Structure 1
C-alpha cells in the first residue's frame, strides 16, 4: 500500500488574517482615490472574507458595489455591515441612498430616519431624506427636511435648489426663482439652478435673458440637455414640460446640437466613507 505525501500546511492565525483584511480594506479606499474601482472592489471582496466579523470591509464593499451600480449586491453587503454594527449611522445613510437608487423610497425613508436618530445633524442624509419624501409625493415633509439641511449647512445649495423644484410644481414660480437664484449665489458654477431659472424666465416671456442663461448652463454641463437626466434629478412634470418648450427654441436647439456628451456622475466611495466616519487604522 503506497502512502501519499501530504504537503505541510502552516496553521493560520485568525488575528493575522483579520489584520490583513483590514489592511486590504484600507488599500481599497486608497485605490478609489485614483478611480481604480475594479481593483478596489476585488480587494474589498477579499477583505470582507478575511475580516468577516468587522463591519468596515463590508461597508466598503457595499459602497463600491453601489459605485458600480450593482445595487442589490451593495445592499446585501451593507446589510451585513449593519448586522455587525447596528449603531453606525453611516451604514444606514448609505443603505437609504441604495434603496433610493432602487426605487424603494419608503424603505429609504426608514433607513435614513433611523440613521438620523443616531446622528441627527447630517445635511447629506437630510437631503437624501427630502428627496425620498419628494418621490413619495410628501412635499411638505420634503421642504421641511431640506430646510433642516440648510440650517445645518448654510451653503448647501442642492437643498435650496430642490425646494425651488417643489415650489415650481405648486405654481409658486416667483418663490422657485428666488430659491434657484439663491442657490446660484452660493455656487455660481452650478448649471442646474441656472437652467431652472432660464426655463422659468422663458415661460414668463423673458426670452432674451432666458436664452443667455440657458446657453451658459448647458455649455457648463451637457447632461442637463437630456430630459431623462433632469427627471432623474427630480424635476417635476410642469418644469419638464416647460423645459421641453424651451429646448424647441431655435437658439437652444443649436446649442444642444453642439454639445458633447458627458457621462453621468456616479457615487464617490471616498466621499461616502470619509463623511460617515471611516478612520484608517
Structure 2
C-alpha cells in the first residue's frame, strides 16, 4: 500500500508539472499570434501552480507574464503596467538568487522599454487632461529608472495641473529630500543656411560647427529648479489649508530665493489670512523695495488688497502700476472695478431704507455717491481707451457702467464700438 501511495503521489506531481508547461506554452503561442487576452487567461491558469515549479519553469513563467502584460499595457490597459513590472522584477530576483541569469538581460531591456511606454502614455494623458493618471505613470517611470529624476519632477507638475495637490506634494517633497536641482547644460549653434539657433547633443554640435554648416556655438546652463520646488511646496500647503507647514515651507523657499516677489506676496497673503496685519504690511513693503519698477508687482499688490477689501490701498497700487506702464490693461480694469465695487456696496444700504422723509434723503445722498463712484470708474476706462481703443474688456466694462448709470447715450456709443 505504501508503494502504491508513493506512485500515485509521483503521478500527481507529474501531472501538475505537465499542466504548468501546457499553460505556459498555450500562453506563449497566444501571445505570438497577437491574442494577448487569451495569453493572459492561460498565464493566469498557470499562476496557481507556479509555487511548486522548478526554477527553470518559474523563470519562463515570470518572463512570459511580463511580456503578456507589457503587450496589454501597450494596447491601453494601464493597470497591466504594474503586473508586467512585477513579472520582470520577480524574474530578475529569481535569477539573482539562483545565479543562472538566462533571461535577466532581456527582462532589464523590457523594463527600460516599459519606462518609455509609461512616459509616452503619460504624455497622452496630459494632452487629454488626465493629470492624475499622468502623474502616477511618470512616478512609476521614475521608480523604474532612479537616475531619471526628471520624471519625478514632471509627475509633480502633472499632479499640480490637475489640482491633485496632495499627490503633487508627495512628489515635490521627495524631490526636495533628494536635493534635486534640474539644471542642465544646453548646447546650440546657428544653422548657417537657415539662420536659426538649434539645440543638439554636444558631440553633434561640435561636428556641425567643425564642418562649417553651423556657427556661433553656445553652452548654456538652464536655471535650477530648486527654488520652484520649495516654492510650490509652500503654495500647496497654503492651498491645503495647512498654514503652519506653509509658513515653514515659505521660510525654506525665501531662503532659497529671497528676491522672488511673488513668493513674498504669497507669504504676505498667508499672514493676512492668519490675522497678522503687521507682518502683512512689512512683507508688502519688502516686495516694493525688491522691485520698485515692476508693474506686475504693484498690480499683484493691488489684487491682494482688493481681495481683502482694502480698496484705497488697491487703488494706490494700481495707480503705481499704471505710472510704470500706462497701457497696463488689467490694472486699468481693476482700478475701475475698485470704484464700481465701492459703489455697489452702497446699493444694499439703499435697498434697506424705508419711505420716510429721512430715509428718502439718505437714499438720495447714497445714490449720488454711488453714481459718482461709477463715473470715476468710467473715467478710468475712458482714459484707458485712448491707449487701447479696441480692447474688448475695456469696452464691455465701460458699457456696463454706463448701463448701470442709465446713461443711454454713452451706453449706445459703446454698443456700437463693440459691434453689437
Question: Do residues 208 (structure 1) and 375 (structure 2) align?
Answer: yes
- Structure 1 Cα separation of the partners of residues 239 and 402 of structure 2: 28
Question: Do residues 143 (structure 1) and 298 (structure 2) align?
Answer: no
Aligned to 1:45: 139
- The higher-RCO structure (CA 8 Å, 6+ apart) is 1
**Contact 1:37–1:64 (Cα < 8 Å) also in 2:** no
Aligned to 2:187: none
Question: Do residues 109 (structure 1) and 276 (structure 2) align?
Answer: no
CA shift, 1:132, in A, is 1.8
CA shift, 1:130, in A, is 2.0
Which residue of the other structure, out of 393, 396, 412, is the alignment partner of 1:220?
393
Q: Structure 1: give runs of 5+ residues left out of the alignment.
A: 226-245, 259-281
Kindly tell me the number of residue pairs found equivalent between the two proteins: 228
- Structure 2 Cα separation of the partners of residues 101 and 180 of structure 1: 26
Aligned to 2:337: 198
Aligned to 2:404: 249
**Contact 2:335–2:377 (Cα < 8 Å) also in 1:** no
CA shift, 1:95, in A, is 0.5
- Structure 1 Cα separation of the partners of residues 373 and 114 of structure 2: 63
Q: Equivalent residue of 1:249, what SS?
A: helix
- Structure 2 Cα separation of the partners of residues 16 and 120 of structure 1: 45
1:86/1:35 Cα in 2 relative to 1: closer, same or farther (>3 Å)?
Answer: closer
- Structure 2 Cα separation of the partners of residues 158 and 58 of structure 1: 31
Aligned to 1:75: 169
- 1:167-208 C-alpha deviation (Å, 9 max, x unpaired): 679997655422111223445344366334433376462322
CA shift, 1:71, in A, is 1.2
- Structure 2 Cα separation of the partners of residues 186 and 127 of structure 1: 19
CA shift, 1:69, in A, is 0.6
TM-score by length of 2: 0.42
CA shift, 1:159, in A, is 3.7
**More divergent stretch after superposition (151-160 vs 120-129):** 151-160
Q: Equivalent residue of 1:137, what SS?
A: coil
**More divergent stretch after superposition (191-200 vs 64-73):** 191-200
- Structure 1 Cα separation of the partners of residues 113 and 284 of structure 2: 41
Aligned to 2:268: 130
**More divergent stretch after superposition (208-217 vs 2-11):** 208-217
* 1:24-103 mapped onto 2 (5 Å cutoff): 37-38=129-130, 41=135, 44-52=138-146, 55-85=149-179, 88-103=226-241
Bigger Cα Rg: 2
- Structure 1 Cα separation of the partners of residues 309 and 263 of structure 2: 28
Q: Structure 2: give runs of 5+ residues left out of the alignment.
A: 1-13, 22-56, 64-101, 182-225, 344-368, 386-390, 416-420
Higher strand share: 2
CA shift, 1:38, in A, is 3.7
Q: Equivalent residue of 2:318, what SS?
A: helix
**Contact 1:55–1:82 (Cα < 8 Å) also in 2:** no
